[in-house]
Amino acid sequence: MLPRFPPTTPLQVRIALRLLWAALTVAVLIRLGSLSSHGHQWIRSAVFMLAAIVAVQGYLILAMSYGQNRARWIDLLLVAFVFIAWPPRLASPHPFVNALDLGQVLAHLVAFALLFTGGANAWFNRDGTREEEGSP
């Protein structure tokens, strides 16, 4: 089921947020798949770290769906930091993993392009006139 957004959310923001949810899902699947290659001592900490990343990313995406401007900036900075600190593994011996990793990067790029242009900028930067303010 697709997430529900407030009725005033612009289409490009809804598309961008769905792309971010998809990228998060792909990241989780890739990381869970790579856990099997690590020893047992790493699994507990890796699962905890993965849960923390999902919680933070999920909260930011949810906050963006309610028009929280800070959330999109924080998410942009976090994703940029992660891509710089841990570049996508596009040299995996498994071509399917490479395709998923590339798809995740492209989804983020398109999502942030949509979130920081045109109507999305105006929607995020509107003054305090929000009809349904149930933000997290």
* 133: in domain: no
Q: What is the pLDDT of residues 73-84, one digit of tens each?
A: 999 999 888 888
Q: What's residue 16's pLDDT? A: 94
Kindly report the pTM of this predicted structure. Answer: 0.78
Are 10 and 123 in contact, with CB atoms under 8 Å apart? yes
Domain count, the chain: 1
Find, among 20, 21, 11, the residue nearest to 110 by Cα: 20
Are 60 and 75 in contact, with CB atoms under 8 Å apart? yes
- Within the chain, which residues score under 70 in pLDDT? 1-6, 34-42, 88-92, 127-136
* Structure-token pair, residue 28: 């989780």
Q: Which domain holds residue 110?
A: 11-124
* 77: in domain: yes
